Amino acid sequence: MSDASLSDMPDPLERINRQVVLRRRPDGMLTNDDVEVTEGEMPELGDGQILIRMVYLQMDAAVRSWLDEGEGYLPGVEIGAAVRSGGMGRVIESNHPDIAVGDWCGGGLPGWNSWAVADGDSPIVNAFPSDHDALFQIAVISSPAATAYFGLTDLGEIKEGDSVLISAAAGSTGSVAVQVARNLGATVVGIAGSDEKCRWVESLGAEVCLNRRTDDLAARLKEIRPRGFDIYFDNVGGPILDLALRRLAIGARVVIIGAISMYNEKGRPPGPSNYLNLINKQAKMAGFQGLAYVDRYPEAWDQMWAWAAEGKMQYKTDLKYGLGSCVEQLNSLFTGSNTGKALVQLCEDPGPGPY
């Protein structure tokens, strides 16, 4: 499967449901041999449901974890089923009284499909006016907003003057977390995978961003914050988590929102060897699971839009085109080749209708 250009995309209103289905469990990173592009049945619309032409698919690290056998906070994708992911598209038909044809619809887990049906009353399905900023919605609001906001406020107990360390700071959630921490009065040190990414993270308000490939992280973190960090916001796990545990301030909070460095590893991941520093520093470490905050999502979203109106929220999207590019774009999260929110665009925006 290969990447395409937007001009190669199919007619957005063509009623063919192309999908990427799982053929076998991946061993390491997902490959094109692990999946297959097929034409599935067009989904049928029931009472209270909406038919969505998917325009954008989200590439999130959790997608890879859902392809393994077994059950985490969601069950593994079944062989023969479409790969699970979030996305956003236009409502083409609606059987829901409060959702109009032409609205944007995001949330839920429509998967790697060109068409999807969603329950309009589901708490994780959200419709937005036809003139809504869809890219801001999917790059900032969708999953990064709640993860970054509640991860830092509820679990991280962030307060003005705190020093915050954020790994994968140029990624979708990390870049939002940098800005949330800055907007709440904290100082931020980021870690990213290239000088270009580090420059972008610093433009978002980080005091400094370290290149994990070229900087001596142990020495630089000690130099920058001799007393340690009040919050470590962890996207990656592995050696960087272990290193951060050595650089905690008294009373520090460690927030675990992902472990991108280990999703492609076989077997049980090793635990951090420096966890006893939690005792020495009277610190605490907690995991974050976004679905536990569904009822409070609007709180985070409203704050993001308010900051955006004040010019305090930026984002980048890393776009590829066509279902055939899904595997490559998902893997970009693990190779570090993406900056900002990795997306796959499936078709041109069909506009607000009528269709």
What is the structure's pLDDT at 71?
67
Q: Which residue ranges form the domains of the chain, and what is each CATH number?
A: 6-132+316-345 (3.90.180.10), 141-292 (3.40.50.720)
pLDDT at 7 (0 to 100): 62
For residues 344 and 323, the answer to whether their CB atoms sit within 8 Å is: yes
User: How many other CB atoms are there within 10 angstroms of residue 336's CB atom?
Assistant: 17
Contacts of 335 (CB under 8 A, 6+ apart): none
Q: Which of 38, 27, 173 is nearest to 111 (CA)?
A: 38
Q: Determine phi and psi for 20, rounding to 5 degrees.
A: -110, 115
Question: Helix, strand, coil shares of the chain as percentages rounded to 5?
Answer: 30, 25, 45
The phi and psi torsions of 237 (rounded to 5 degrees) equal 65, -160
What is Dmax (Cα atoms) for the chain? 63
How many angstroms separate the Cα of 142 from the Cα of each of 9, 18, 124, 134?
A: 24, 24, 10, 10
Q: Which two tokens stand for residue 213?
A: 């490939």
User: So what's the pLDDT on residue 5?
Assistant: 65
The reported pLDDT for the residue numbered 2 is: 46
Mean pLDDT by 10 residues, the chain (355 residues): 63 94 96 95 91 96 90 86 96 96 91 95 89 93 92 98 97 96 98 97 98 97 98 95 97 94 73 93 94 91 96 95 96 91 96 93
Q: Radius of gyration over alpha carbons of the chain, in Å? A: 20
